[in-house]
C-alpha cells in the first residue's frame, strides 16, 4: 500500500512537472525562441503556448517593445584636430527575433558599438564649428549608416538622438582664450580707428582754423591799408591833423595804463605837443 501511494505521488509529480514544462504563458511585448534538441524550432508569441516537454526548450526571451540604448560618452577628433565629447541615445525595435538571436551575439552591444564607431567616422570628416552646429545632419547620417546593419540583425533603428556634443575641457579653455584674444584684437582695432578719425578731424580743424586766421589777417591788413589810405587822403600834407590823431592815441594809451591794476606811477610829459613833435620829427 505504501509503495502504491509513493508510485501515485511520483506519477502526479511527473505529470505536474510535464505540464509545467509544456505550457508557456508569454507576456505582451515579448517573444520567446524555442529550440528542440539544440536547433531552432519556433517562436512563442504573447499568450498561452504549448511546447513538447523535455524536447523543446525556451532558449531566448526577447522584448519586442522599443528598446532604449544609451551610447556612452566618447572623445572624437574632428577634421581640424579638435577634440570633442559626444554621446547619443538610440531607439531600436526587434522586428525579426530569429535574426536578433542567431545573427549576432548581443544585438544591443552590437548596435551600441556600431553607433560609437559611425559617430567617430562622421564627426571625423567635419570641422569643429560644423560638428558643433549640425546635430540634425549628424543624426541623419548616423541613422542612415547603421540602418542596413540593423536590418541584417533583425532590428529597426527608429531614431538616434545626439544627447550632447561639446568640446573637451582643454579645447574649451583654448576656445575661451581664442575668443578673448579676438575680443581684445577687435577692441584695439576699434580704438586705433577712433584715434585715426580723431587725428584726422583734429588736423582738419587746425587746417580750417589756419585758413580762417589767414583770411582774417588778410582782411585786417586790407582794412588797415584802407584806413591808412583814407587817413592819408584826409590829412594830405598838413601836420596838424596828424598830430591831433597821434596825440589822441597817446592820451588814450596813457589813460589805459593809468587804469591798469599793475600801474603804480604814470609820468605824463609836461609838453605833449613837443612830445608829439618829437615823435613826428621836426621840419628842416
Give pLDDT tens digits for 145-166. Answer: 888 888 889 999 888 888 888 8
Looking at the predicted structure, is the pLDDT value of residue 34 above 90?
yes
DSSP string, 75-95: EEE-TTS-EEEEEEEEEEEES
Are 106 and 92 spatial neighbours (Cβ–Cβ below 8 Å)?
no
Q: Which of the 8 DSSP states describes residue 27?
A: P
Confidence of residue 28 (pLDDT cuts 50, 70, 90): very high
Give pLDDT tens digits for 128-150. Answer: 888 888 888 888 888 888 888 88
What whole-number percentage of the chain has pLDDT above 90?
13
Are 164 and 73 spatial neighbours (Cβ–Cβ below 8 Å)?
yes
Give the whole-angstrom CA distance, residue 94 versus residue 153: 9
Let me know if 46 is exposed, middle or buried by CB neighbors in 10 A (0-12, 13-18, 19+): middle
What whole-number percentage of the chain has pLDDT above 70?
76
Give the strand pairing for 56-63 and 155-167: unpaired
pLDDT of the residue at 174: 67
Q: What mean pLDDT, rounded, does the chain reach?
A: 80
pLDDT of the residue at 234: 65
Class of domain 67-173: alpha beta
Domain definitions of the chain by residue range: 2-63, 67-173, 196-231, 237-261+271-284
Nearest to 26 by CA among 77, 64, 72: 64
Confidence of residue 45 (pLDDT cuts 50, 70, 90): very high
Are 94 and 155 spatial neighbours (Cβ–Cβ below 8 Å)?
yes
Give the whole-angstrom CA distance, residue 186 versus residue 254: 64
Helix (H) / strand (E) containing 34: strand 30-36
Mean pLDDT to the nearest integer, 2-17: 77
Confidence of residue 272 (pLDDT cuts 50, 70, 90): low
Give the whole-angstrom CA distance, residue 158 versus residue 210: 81
Nearest to 141 by CA among 162, 127, 155: 162
Give the whole-angstrom CA distance, residue 45 versus residue 283: 147
Grid-cell match 526577447, residue found: 62
Cα 134 versus chain centre, distance: 14
Are 88 and 163 spatial neighbours (Cβ–Cβ below 8 Å)?
yes
**Regarding predicted confidence, which is higher, 14 or 51?**
51
Give pLDDT tens digits for 178-236. Answer: 677 777 778 788 888 888 888 888 888 888 888 888 888 878 777 767 766 776 666 66
Confidence of residue 284 (pLDDT cuts 50, 70, 90): very low
Mean pLDDT to the nearest integer, 52-79: 89
Phi, psi of 227 (to 5 degrees): -65, -45
Looking at the predicted structure, is the pLDDT value of residue 32 above 90?
yes
Looking at the predicted structure, is the pLDDT value of residue 74 above 80?
yes
Lowest pLDDT segment from 40-44, 67-71, 222-226, 237-241: 237-241
The grid coordinates of residue 147 equal 540602418
Cα 246 versus chain centre, distance: 82
Global pTM reads: 0.56
Q: Which of the 8 DSSP states describes residue 55?
A: T
Looking at the predicted structure, is the pLDDT value of residue 276 above 60?
no
Amino acid at each position: 500500500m505504501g509503495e502504491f501511494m509513493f508510485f501515485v505521488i511520483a506519477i502526479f509529480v511527473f505529470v505536474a512537472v510535464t505540464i509545467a514544462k509544456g505550457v508557456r504563458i508569454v507576456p505582451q511585448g515579448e517573444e520567446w525562441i524555442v529550440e528542440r534538441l539544440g536547433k531552432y524550432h519556433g517562436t512563442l508569441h504573447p499568450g498561452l503556448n504549448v511546447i513538447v516537454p523535455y524536447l523543446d526548450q525556451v532558449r531566448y526571451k526577447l522584448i519586442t517593445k522599443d528598446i532604449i540604448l544609451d551610447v556612452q560618452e566618447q572623445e572624437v577628433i574632428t577634421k581640424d584636430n579638435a577634440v570633442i565629447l559626444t554621446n547619443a541615445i538610440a531607439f531600436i525595435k526587434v522586428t525579426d527575433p530569429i535574426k536578433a538571436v542567431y545573427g549576432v551575439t548581443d544585438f544591443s552591444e552590437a548596435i551600441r558599438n556600431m553607433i560609437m564607431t559611425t559617430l567617430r567616422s562622421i564627426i571625423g570628416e567635419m570641422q569643429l564649428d560644423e560638428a558643433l552646429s549640425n546635430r540634425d545632419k549628424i543624426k541623419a547620417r548616423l541613422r542612415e549608416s547603421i540602418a542596413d546593419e540593423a536590418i541584417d540583425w533583425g532590428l529597426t533603428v527608429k531614431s538616434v538622438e545626439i544627447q550632447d556634443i561639446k568640446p573637451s575641457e582643454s579645447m574649451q579653455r583654448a576656445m575661451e582664450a581664442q575668443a578673448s584674444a579676438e575680443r581684445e584684437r577687435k577692441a584695439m582695432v576699434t580704438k586705433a580707428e577712433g584715434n585715426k578719425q580723431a587725428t584726422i578731424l583734429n588736423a582738419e580743424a587746425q587746417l580750417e582754423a589756419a585758413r580762417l586766421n589767414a583770411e582774417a589777417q588778410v582782411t585786417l591788413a586790407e582794412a588797415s591799408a584802407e584806413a591808412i589810405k583814407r587817413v592819408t587822403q584826409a590829412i594830405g600834407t598838413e601836420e596838424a591833423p596828424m598830430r591831433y590823431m597821434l596825440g589822441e592815441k597817446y592820451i588814450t594809451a596813457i589813460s589805459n595804463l593809468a587804469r591798469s591794476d599793475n600801474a603804480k606811477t604814470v609820468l605824463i610829459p609836461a609838453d605833449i605837443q613837443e612830445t608829439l613833435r618829437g615823435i613826428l620829427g621836426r621840419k628842416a
